Amino acid sequence: MKQGVLSQMRCYEANFERLMWLIPGFQDMEGPVWSVGIDALELQLDILERGKYTATIALTHHFYHPGIIVSDPYMKIRLYTDARVAEVLSYQGHARLQLFQPYPVLNMANLQEKYRINRFLGEWLDYCIARGHRFADTSRCAKAQLDR
């Protein structure tokens, strides 16, 4: 169990670092904003909530299918700016991944699911970085328009 907790914390720390690389001006940024990578796919960032030591963001990719826009994946992510960690709160609208659950509910299966989805976030962020996404380059980052 101790190894699992350490692995999770490393994952949360690495995801925070990836997110700060993607969003270098996060402290001053207002959303929603979007970035277009070399794959021509749009990555949208919404800042949902800010606190003194935390922030909640939503991150999604937009794929265009004939006649529809598909947002996949869609994640809500909590940033703990004082601890420099980030964790997934919900994925595709499913909010089963709450961190602070009563002890009987926070079981090994839940911890493993949280670890898998946070590891997926890291892989997705690596993909976005490799495709040239960054919310700092004003030529590729603009205010998202509501009618998109």
The span from the CA of 21 to the CA of 129, in Å, is 9
Q: For tokens 């606190």, what's the residue?
A: 51
Under-70 pLDDT residues of the chain: 1-3, 69-71, 93-109, 137-148
Token pair for residue 73?
Answer: 């994946």
Across the strands, what pairs with 70? 63
Residue 36, domain member (yes or no): yes
Q: Say if residues 44 and 23 touch (Cβ distance below 8 Å).
A: no
Residue 26, domain member (yes or no): yes
Residue 67, domain member (yes or no): yes
Question: What per-residue confidence (pLDDT) applies to 1?
Answer: 41
Residue 139, domain member (yes or no): no
Residue 148, domain member (yes or no): no
Domain residues for the domain of 47 are: 2-134
**Alpha-carbon distances of 55 from 26, 47, 76, rounded to whole Å:** 10, 8, 10
Domains of the chain: total: 1
Question: What per-residue confidence (pLDDT) applies to 69?
Answer: 67
